[in-house]
Amino acid sequence: MKQRKQNYITLTVDGEVLSCGGVQAAPELEPAPAAADVAYRLSRAAGEAAAALPLAPNAIDSADMSEYTDVAGGRGAADDGAHPVVLVMARAKTAKKMLPAAAEAGFSTCAVYTQDRRLEPHLKLAQQAVCLGERYSAALFCNSCAVLEAAETCGASVVLLCDEALPLAEVDSFLARAAARSIRVFRPLNQDMPALGWVLCTTEKPPFDGGAWRACPHCGLKFDEASLASGHYVCPTCSGYLRMSSTERINDLLDADSFVEWDRSVAETDPLDFPGYFEKLEAARAKSGLEEAVRTGEGRIAGLRFAIGIMDSQFFMGSMGSVVGEKVCRLFDRAVEEHLPVVVFTASGGARMQEGLVSLMQMAKVSCAIERHAEAGLPYISVLTDPTTGGVTASFAMQGDVILAEPRALIGFAGQRVIRDTIRQELPEGFQTAEFALEHGLIDAIVEREELRGMIAHILAIHLATASGRFESGDREILVDYQSVRENLEHGTDTYNTVTYGDMDVPMLAGESSGRSARRLKERLSGIVDRFERSGSVSGKRLEKALARGEFDAENGASLDDANGHAEVAGVTAENRAWESVQLARNVHRPTALAYIDALVDGFIELHGDRAFGDDGAIVGGVGWIGGQAVTVIAQEKGADLKERIRRNFGCPQPEGYRKSLRLMRQAEKFGRPVVCLVDTQGAFCGMEAEERGQGNAIADNLLALAGLRVPVVSVLLGEGGSGGALALALADRVAMQEHAVYSVLSPEGFASILWKDRTRAPEAAAVMKMSAAEAHGMGIVDAVLSEGPAPAHENPDVAANNVKTYVMASLNELCDAPTEELLRTRHERFATF
């Protein structure tokens, strides 16, 4: 919306212009310059409307509001019998004053109402009334389409904007459409004192009444295409997402004029000789302007060239038949030939029933093409839009290296009606949505539409950064430059920059849906507090204090009474550095893994889920840049406060957390990207649910993968390194510990309980176990001990983080130059010595 300068005059009862210097003769009703902005009485507006004359020109350009005076009403020019209609856009309280004043000025008045407020008394003051819609809302009163349709219904030539309708005074598209319909639009000079004068609202845009209105399917309000396009087809009122056509998606996402379509026409088949199938295809083409339900080709985002497929639900609801399958296969095969990544936007109701088994076979056919693309080491990003269901969900929609989704998109395999009819149950709210899929670990992230272009560009840059050797020099000038991608997104350029890696300002994506996860968090928090209150030991505040002192053992469930007894154990001396390190490693103020990621990693993009069950908050994984090197980062995160620690299970991973890390390791291996692991856990979570989901299997799979991972792996223990839960991220080429980190086969409380049947001897156990960083280094288990500075890490986090970053960068520089076979041999020999 554009702000414009307004020029005002005020008229006396006799029609004279009031100015700083006194009274001047008012201009007659003569044609005015088109750009004139006037503030004057309703009677004059009525007279000019009745005479169908242009509005009077300004006589004075005054900036001092104190110069304006209230004026009495009078019929003025409208007394000749003409009664132009005025539409008063105001709520009841304002309308009670405005309607009589407009009638007194010579207007035939029209009020507005909604069905839920159709009995309001102010409506009796108007000559006629027009219904705006079903239910009252501020958004409805300032909706361009609703106001213009109301004005057209009542035949209004003047619209007075008050209250919630006032924002329309600055909407250029609304004013241009009103001008095209010969409707004058006014706003009050002062909202609290409308009689002070009225200002004609103008726009520099020429009168325009073309283009259809488009209704939001969520709130029902209508908007013009231009305003929707500028907002990425997100409803400006309710923030609902409108479905985009393939053309709209191309224009919204890609660099201007960069799309080149491939395989536009592919011959249709009718394997079932389905009655009227070809006729329906022709009708769909005529209605949508599309050849089929998917368009394929190449394009650029921020200069990054890639192959793209966009499904369009306007054509047969985006259903997948033989032509859709063929076009998607050709897309991936040509991408292999030209060494291009692929991005596919899915929008489909599933298989095309009219093609029967042939439609089903497309799932297998496309999967083979995607496998060939993956074998070439090229990235594939899948973007799920509303709706993505059926055979498309069960094939290429869920086969991406990275799977993104738009908010609230319908995502599922079986239709909801089929599920209800099968299990005879009502489905929960939010079932089969993008948020549901994220919570259950099925997708990597939900991305707002306005952020999607930048997110895809940065993910492509990170994934392709380590694959430059497979491309010719002419194709690779921009693909590995991080800062340049960012600059190209902001400014665009004909000659795209070459990258020097830098920070990426991309918002971290939320990993939890607000409803279900919040309820689960509240239940878990209350459960833990209740458990301690039942034992008579603590309140919630005491639990917080215990966590701050490092006295709560999340893995083994040490009670606070046990923890409080530690200080009284005989034989613990000041020289027991191991126990001191345990306490420091558990200190609630110690920087967690996310704090180190913020300090170490530029442009970190978190990727969620194990693609099978859930997204474990105890393990954070994603991609980013460390010192110009694209890396995969996997970290164990305890949480920065009590609620966060509970949500992340105190840093004790579930099986789905380890399976998420395994997935990211395999992804890093595919793209030749080093892996950096940050370890900080008391141990893998030991609970019935974890055992049911295969906790031991998940850890074993991680260890096996790390043993053979064909990329460098660097691991740093930041705090606690407890048992196999820590080792699952520490089978690495280089392993370091921070100065006050600890590493052990299990917690000292567990050690003391098993061997001595006395948990209070945990400090003594810490000394016996040799779990401090210095002792682990002395045994050759870790390669380096990283100084935390003059004090523990929580007292100088910047120094500690800088030392970790320096070590990681030096290790990566060394390891990335090593041949793969030598890397694997050295890794195996390292652990064979113990």
Q: Say how far apart CA 197 and CA 6 lie, in whole Å.
A: 13
216 is in an annotated binding site: yes
Torsion of CA 760, 764, 766, 770, to 10 degrees: -160
If asked whether residues 663 and 560 sit together in one domain, one would say yes
Q: Are residues 288 and 426 in the same domain?
A: yes
817 and 735 in a single domain? The answer is yes
C-alpha closest to that of 444 among 622, 280, 269, 579: 622
Distance of CA 239 to the CA centre of its chain: 13
Q: What is d(CA 768, CA 745) in angstroms, rounded to the nearest whole number?
A: 12
638 assigned to some structural domain: yes
Same domain, yes or no: 524 and 400: no
Q: Choose one of 170, 200, 230: the last residue of a domain.
A: 200
Separation of alpha carbons 54 and 44, rounded Å? 12
Please report which residue ranges of 116-272 form alpha helices under DSSP H: 138-141, 144-154, 172-180, 225-230, 246-253
Q: What is the CATH number of the domain that holds 149?
A: 3.40.50.20
Per-residue pLDDT at 596: 95
- Residue 623 to residue 633: CA distance in whole angstroms: 6
Distance CA 374, CA 645 (A): 37
Q: Are residues 463 and 587 in the same domain?
A: no
- What is residue 4's three-state secondary structure? coil
653 preceded by cis ω (within 30°)? no
In a domain, 292, yes or no: yes
Q: What is the pLDDT of residue 605?
A: 94
593: domain CATH number?
3.90.226.10
Does any domain span residue 560? yes
Q: What is residue 25's DSSP assignment?
A: P
Residues 522 and 440 in one domain: no
Of 630, 612, 626, 683, the closest CA to residue 653 belongs to 683
- 3-class secondary structure per residue, 235-273: CCCCCCECCCCHHHHHHHHCCCCCCEEECCCCCCCCCCC
pLDDT lower than 50: segments of the chain:
1-38, 53-81, 468-479, 493-543, 545-574
**Three-state secondary structure call for residue 766:** helix
Is 652 annotated to bind a ligand? Reply is no
Say if residue 483 is in the same domain as residue 602.
Answer: no
Predicted local confidence at residue 412, as pLDDT: 94
Total domains in the chain come to 3
Residues 466 and 541 in one domain: no
Q: Which of 460, 491, 522 corresponds to the end of one domain?
A: 491
Domain assignment of residue 207, yes or no: no
Give the per-residue pLDDT at 742.
93
- Choose among 630, 379, 360, 638: nearest CA to 499: 630
Side chain identity at residue 629, one-letter code = Q
Of 71, 55, 59, 56, the residue nearest 21 (C-alpha): 59
- Burial class of 817 by CB neighbour count within 10 A (0 to 12, 13 to 18, 19+): exposed
Domain that includes residue 391, residue range: 246-270+283-491
Q: Which of 165, 181, 200 is the last residue of a domain?
A: 200
Q: How far is CA 152 from CA 45, 200, 296, 754, in A?
A: 19, 19, 43, 84
20 is in an annotated binding site: no
Whether 653 is covered by a domain: the verdict is yes
- Residue 377's SS3 state is coil
Q: Are residues 473 and 526 in the same domain?
A: no
Residue 633 lies in a domain: yes
User: Are residues 482 and 587 both part of a single domain?
Assistant: no
3-state SS class at 807 = helix
pLDDT in tens, 56-105: 443 333 333 333 333 223 333 333 446 899 999 998 888 998 899 888 88
- Residue 572: its pLDDT value, please? 40
The pLDDT of residue 467 is 57
Do 145 and 151 contact (CB within 8 A), yes or no? no
Is 227 within the bounds of a domain?
Answer: no
Residues 710, 818 within the same domain:
yes
Whether residue 576 is found in the same domain as residue 485: no
* pTM for the predicted model, two decimal places: 0.80
pLDDT of res. 50:
64
Q: Where are the alpha helices (DSSP H) in 165-230?
A: 172-180, 225-230
Give the burial class of 791: count Cβ atoms within 10 A of its Cβ; 0-12 exposed, 13-18 middle, 19 or more buried: exposed
Alpha-carbon distance values, 207 to 184, 616, 681 (Å):
12, 56, 66
